Structures are given as structure tokens and as C-alpha cells.
Chains A and B, each alone.
Chain A
């Protein structure tokens, strides 16, 4: 998916270029640098790979190779409401794949993707660490325990409604 950098992201990127100087030009700094970029931008857009490669004097392919090797790094922006479906063992045994499928169907995207309006994204995570509540999904930062397919629609609807309420409140102002 190719998405243009937003104006805000472009500004952050300019700032990150300055921050890069803090890091030594050592190979061992590669992962910490990528982590800092992702923390600020929430993902690694293509220009970041070039930047890091330049700084460490390695080829962009080398940086990309490392970045894609690790699960932490993502290459498309997360939605405003990232949905993370836990697919740890306990959740799997309790039917987590059905929950994931329902989110995918309702939002019409696959896991790892973001909706075109950047409102939602879906990803699978290994273990959220509350196996007693399985199956578990996170919508934004909120943990939703004991998930069921029929809860999926409600959760998405709630985000939409809250957004509507917010928008109306802004209009009144």
C-alpha cells in the first residue's frame, strides 16, 4: 500500500533527521534507530530506510532486510483505532481466528492492512498476557476480553458513534 506522507509526518521526519546525529555510526545502533523512528512515526515509510542506510553507510537493502526480519517494524501506517487480535495459544484454543476473520470481514481489510480512511487497522499479536480473558482483542488501548463474533460489529459501531459525537461537539463550538 502506497500512502503519501501527511504534512505532519513530513515535519516529524525532518526532526528525526536532526535526531539521527545523536546515534553513533555503528552497526549496533541500527535497531535502536529504527525503533526510535517507528516510535515517532508509528511506522517506517520508505524515506526512513534511505536515511538510516545513509547514516550507517550500509545499503538500503541491508536496512530493509533487518527491518523486515523483525516483527516489531511495520511499513504501513496504523489506523487511528488499531485493532489487535491476540492469537496466543490460549486465545487460539478459544477461537481467536474466528474473531480475526470477523474484523477482517467487517472492515474489508486483511490483517496487517489499514482502511483507506486510516480509521482502522488490523494486526495479530502473539500474546497480550491476559489469557484468563481469552479470546482477547485490543481496540486502541482498551482490552476487550471474552470476545465473540457478535461483539465485533458493536465495537466498530461504538468507535464510529463516538467519532460522530465528537464531531458534533466540535461543530457546536
Chain B
């Protein structure tokens, strides 16, 4: 490749950035109020579109001049829809409001935007430090995070390239084009960046191999085929800040000498697909993609491929198969995609988070990046923390923070005064860790050592009411369905694992089952080609190891200690507690299993009951008469009186 004309690329970029800064200044300095609404999939699901409509209507009705700025997601899912109102004329700093429904939107328009009263009872905090209102930066959910990849998420409009440029976006690309490709690869190698897709392969090494690979036409693929149930960080990044990912891809292409790029994104993420397509079009318009990028001699274009939803396609050879129009079945490696990938051309495949980490590294230098996180795993990790936790959402933390800090300090711990039981890390490929492991630092090596794995970053917190046998069954159900069927051990082995686990949760386990689970799991790990099969037994193995009591109770006593496996529990009504004459349990039962006895108390017909717990939730707290027992034969039998009592009045 001919060396780029450095002066030109820098000059072009400065002009573009100046334009962006000017637009930003005009927006910031306008004295009118600005309303920033989080509008990623999570916000929309929580009702952000209705909130936006309510703001628009209220503003129009009152004739208030204000700007609505649609931004991405800040990762605070528990507080969606999140709105930041910046009302300079009121004298207050920008304020973050959680859970803004249409009613609240109308109220805030009237009382704050018109009346100047920020309604302090509804705020979460100010977004900047000030003398009037506590800032959100004083909360652990905010100040213990370290944002590298998600720094701009939720602050900028993902559909406006100028918003990204105004935040120094694409500056890393302009800087990279002034250096040689070798220097860029060396910088990434020095930074110690490891692939964020799960395996943690050093990115610099991968790029160096790709740079040296023979062939003039190389390809860069951004892997956004996020299939884990319960993980959604890649989607959020694409929806909130697509240009940072594109910038990372362009830098990667420049470093390895690639001509074409492809974003492989799940078709189930329609908003992410729409936003990334728009971002590519805008980058093309600005000369950041296409021929002669920023006036240099470097050409690169990016296409989008919509993945059709197969978990195994996250594996790189399977991903390539699916782009080529085949079933996504992994191939033997070598040859690695780095030598012969898509259409047999050298192909670099990087995860969304890996690529999004590149621009900050180039901008701030490898030493800065090494300063974040731990020695073996520099940088930050992004987790989607969900399940039984007070503040679920996306959290970006420096590597090396302990699980305890993440779950209890940052995410607020377990709600409803329940006790912590387990945390499942790494999705279907990961493992379940008990309380003893809470002080494990989060990084690639420590988690693998504990039997879990970093995976793509799904983290499910479980309280004492969760049955680990059932959780293992859930994950096996998923991997069994998603097994591509190539390797016998994975195809048939996971099926049998699932059969045994189903048997256990139905109270038909045999003493030999536990031994068989262990043996079969180890065999599947050995006998499978790709990561899916190699890691599918992890939830079983870790739960067998750390929660053996759960398993033995299921086998020996046909009892589910957490009272979660429905065939092993029964509901009954404690006649001493039942209040007589309150019909709430009978009314809410979806299958008419609750009946009234002769003395106006209630009973449950065990043959009809589907154990949905609806009556237990509905029974007024001062009675709490609906009891749950395991094993089911412990429930006292109450006969249904003959006659018409079954018919509701």
C-alpha cells in the first residue's frame, strides 16, 4: 500500500470536525430547554416512544420552544425510560429522570419547563457536579464504572454522525492514517487488548497474523451475532454508538490491509440493523469510507449481513458458512479464517466490543489502556447484569473488580431481602458460581479458573428461590436446540444430558444419574469440535460441583429445595390462616382449581392445579394462607365438596 498523504487526511478531518463542533455549540448554547430521551430497544420496550409523543404534545400545547434529542442507551435498564432535561433558564443543572412515563412527561413539561420547578421527588440526580442537586456520580452505580467502550453511549444521537464527530469521534482514525499499519498493530499488541467475544485471544496477535497473511484482498468482519439469552451489550453499542464500531473496523482494515468489511448482525435486532446501515451511509458521505478515505490512498467499504438467528454462528467458521449461504456448521481449524476465511480470503473476525475498544486505544495510547484493568486482562468488561438484582442493566467496569463489588455495590444486591445463591456468568457456555467465589476478580483467567468463563458478558444473578438443577436444564434446553448437529457428542450427548435433567426436575431421577451427568459432560467436552459443544456442559458441571445438595435432594427425596421445579411442589391452603369469604384466590386461578369448602374456606384441587403460584401472590399479605411444599405429597388433602360449588356465581 502506498503511504497515505498525511497532510490531506488530517486537513480534511479538521474541517469535518470543525463543522461538527459548530453544530454542537449551536445546540449547547441555545437558551432553550433540551430533552434527551434514551431511545434504544430497551428504552422503546419500556415505553420511550410514548414518552416522546407525550413531550411533543405537551410542548406544542403550551407553545414551549424546546429541542428533543434522541440518544442511545446509558445502560440503566432498571430506570427506563430515562430522560435528561437540560433547562438552562431555570438555573438548574441537567437532571436525569428515571421511569418517565407519558404522565410524568406532561407533568414535567408543565411544572419544570414552564414553571421552573424540577420536581425533586422524581429525579435520580444531576448529570454534572453542582451546588444544588446531588449528582448521579455520587452513586455507586455510576462512579464505580469505568467507561471506555460505552463512554459516548446515551450521550450522542446514534443517527447523527456530527454528534459523534463533536465528541472527538474519528480522531483516532485520522491519527491512525498518519502512522504506518505496522505501528498500529504494534500499538494494539502493546495495549494487551483481548478479544471480547469470549475466548480472549490477543487482538494484536490476530491482526499481526492477518497483516502478514498472503493475498491482496483481505476482509474484516464485525461479529455482532449475539445469541446468548440475556446478553444484549453488542446490540446496545450498535444502537447507541455505531460509529465507534465502524471507526474500529476502519482502523483494523488499515492495519491489516483489508479492502472489504462486513457487519454480521442478527436480523432479530431490527433497530441495530437500521442504525448501522444509516451510520455506514453517513460515513460514506463524509469520505470516511469508500475510495481514498480522508484523501489518503486507503480504500475500504463496509456491508451488512443480517444473521438469521443461530447461536452457533457466533463461532467464526460457522459465521462464514452462513454468509456464504449455507447452514452455519463450524469447520475444522486450521485453516484459520485468518488464512482462508470468507471466499477463501484472509478474514479477520472481531467482536463488537473489541472493535469499539480500538479507537480509544489509538487515541490515548497503549500505556493508558494497560493502566485500566488487571495485568493479564487490561481494559474494561461489559456485563449485562440481570435476574434477581436490584439495578439490572449494562455495566462497564475495569477488569479485576470482584463479583461482590459488581453485584452488591454497583447493582444494588438482591431485592426482597432474599439471600444470594448463585451467579451464572457467560451465558449457556458459562458456569454457575456460589457465594464462596464472590471475591473472584473478574478477568479472563480468574473466571476460567473458577469454572465459569467471560463469555460474551451475560450475567444472571440468582437468589435462594432458584433451583440450580432447573437452571442447568434451562441452559441445556437452549444448547441442545442450538447444536448444529455436526458432532455426535454434541448432538446426541446434549440431548441425553437434557433428558436426565428433565427426569431429575420431574422427580424421576435415579441414583446413577449424577454419575452419568458427570461422565457424559466430560465426554461431550472432549468429543466436540467447536466452542458450543466444548462449553455446553459447563452449567451442568459447575452446578454439580458447587450445588451438589440441590441434585441429591432431587434424586433421593424427590424434593426441590428452592421449590421451583413444578412437578416436585404442591400448593395448598392453610385452613387456620384462610380468612373465609375472601374469594381472591378462587377468582385469579386460571384453571378453576381453587374451590370453596362447606365452611366458606378454600381448597385446591391438586389434579387441576398447574402450580402457577397466582393464588399465592394474590392471597392478601395479612393471611398468607397459600402454602408451598416439596415434595408434593406433604400437602394435606382437602376434598372438593360435591355439587354446584365449582360454578362461579
The answer to whether B387 and A71 have CB atoms under 8 Å apart is no
**Which of A66, A69, A72 is B267 in contact with, Cβ under 8 Å?**
A72
The answer to whether B80 and A153 have CB atoms under 8 Å apart is no
**Which of B268, B591, B612 is A126 in contact with, Cβ under 8 Å?**
B268
Q: Which of B209-252 contact A (CB under 8 A)?
A: 227-232, 235
Q: Which of B545-570 contact A (CB under 8 A)?
A: none
B522 at the interface (CB under 8 A from A): no
Which residues on B sit within 8 Å (CB–CB) of A127?
A: 228-232
CB distance from A159 to the nearest CB of B (A): 17
CB distance from B491 to the nearest CB of A (A): 13
**Stretch of A6-14, A108-116, A129-137, A160-168 contacting B (4+ beta carbons < 8 Å):** A129-137
Docked CA distance A127–B311 (Å): 13
The answer to whether A35 and B590 have CB atoms under 8 Å apart is no
Q: Which of B577-606 contact A (CB under 8 A)?
A: 588, 590-591
The answer to whether B45 and A130 have CB atoms under 8 Å apart is yes
Q: Which of A36-75 contact B (CB under 8 A)?
A: 65-66, 69-73
Which residues on A sit within 8 Å (CB–CB) of B327?
A: 65-66, 69
**Which of B231, B324, B466, B614 is A27 in contact with, Cβ under 8 Å?**
B324
A98 at the interface (CB under 8 A from B): yes
Docked CA distance A35–B322 (Å): 13
The answer to whether B612 and A149 have CB atoms under 8 Å apart is yes
The answer to whether B267 and A35 have CB atoms under 8 Å apart is yes
The answer to whether A150 and B42 have CB atoms under 8 Å apart is no
B459 and chain A: residue at smallest CB distance: A89
**Which of B230, B325, B387, B458 is A28 in contact with, Cβ under 8 Å?**
B325
The answer to whether A153 and B590 have CB atoms under 8 Å apart is yes
**Stretch of B165-173, B253-261, B302-310 contacting A (4+ beta carbons < 8 Å):** B302-310
Docked CA distance A106–B612 (Å): 14
User: Given that A69-B327, A93-B387, A133-B46 are contacting pairs, would A126 and B229 also be in contact in the complex, using a CB cutoff of 8 Å?
Assistant: yes
The answer to whether A30 and B325 have CB atoms under 8 Å apart is yes
The answer to whether A131 and B384 have CB atoms under 8 Å apart is yes
The answer to whether A72 and B460 have CB atoms under 8 Å apart is no
Docked CA distance A101–B80 (Å): 28
B614 and chain A: residue at smallest CB distance: A149
Docked CA distance A138–B255 (Å): 44
Q: Which of B179-199 contact A (CB under 8 A)?
A: none
**Which of A66, A89, A125 is B326 in contact with, Cβ under 8 Å?**
A66
The answer to whether A105 and B268 have CB atoms under 8 Å apart is no
**Which of A105, A126, A130, A148 is B42 in contact with, Cβ under 8 Å?**
A130
A5 at the interface (CB under 8 A from B): no
Which residues on A sit within 8 Å (CB–CB) of B310?
A: 69-71
A31 at the interface (CB under 8 A from B): yes
Which residues on B sit within 8 Å (CB–CB) of A152?
A: 590
Which residues on A sit within 8 Å (CB–CB) of B387?
A: 89-90, 93, 131
Docked CA distance A80–B62 (Å): 39
Residue interface bits B358-391, CB-to-A below 8 A is 1, else 0? 0000000000000000000000000010111000
**Which of A27, A30, A31, A90 is B460 in contact with, Cβ under 8 Å?**
A90
The answer to whether B328 and A150 have CB atoms under 8 Å apart is no
B610 at the interface (CB under 8 A from A): yes
B457 at the interface (CB under 8 A from A): no
User: What count of chain A residues pass the 8 Å CB interface test?
Assistant: 46
Docked CA distance A101–B609 (Å): 13
Docked CA distance A1–B328 (Å): 27
CB distance from B430 to the nearest CB of A (A): 11
A70 and chain B: residue at smallest CB distance: B308
Docked CA distance A34–B308 (Å): 10
The answer to whether A133 and B590 have CB atoms under 8 Å apart is no
Residue interface bits A21-36, CB-to-B below 8 A is 1, else 0? 0000011111110110
Which residues on B sit within 8 Å (CB–CB) of A69?
A: 310, 327-328, 484
B456 at the interface (CB under 8 A from A): no
CB distance from A83 to the nearest CB of B (A): 15
Docked CA distance A89–B428 (Å): 9
The answer to whether A131 and B386 have CB atoms under 8 Å apart is yes
User: Given that A93-B387, A126-B229 are contacting pairs, would A102 and B309 also be in contact in the complex, using a CB cutoff of 8 Å?
Assistant: no
The answer to whether B614 and A150 have CB atoms under 8 Å apart is yes
Docked CA distance A92–B458 (Å): 14
CB distance from A103 to the nearest CB of B (A): 10
Which residues on B sit within 8 Å (CB–CB) of A101?
A: 610, 612
Docked CA distance A129–B107 (Å): 28
The answer to whether B308 and A71 have CB atoms under 8 Å apart is yes
Docked CA distance A29–B326 (Å): 10
Q: Which of B387-419 contact A (CB under 8 A)?
A: 387-388, 392-393
Which residues on A sit within 8 Å (CB–CB) of B613?
A: 95, 98
CB distance from B561 to the nearest CB of A (A): 16
Apart from A69-B328, A95-B613, A129-B41, list 16 A-B contacts with CB within 8 A.
A26-B325, A35-B308, A69-B327, A71-B310, A72-B268, A72-B309, A73-B308, A89-B474, A90-B387, A93-B388, A93-B462, A128-B45, A129-B235, A130-B80, A131-B387, A150-B590
List the 8 shortest-distance A-B pairs measured between CB atoms, nearest first: A70-B308, A89-B230, A30-B325, A71-B309, A130-B45, A90-B386, A72-B308, A131-B386
A-B contact pairs, 10 of them (CB 8 A): A28-B323, A28-B325, A69-B310, A71-B310, A90-B386, A101-B612, A106-B590, A129-B45, A131-B392, A133-B46
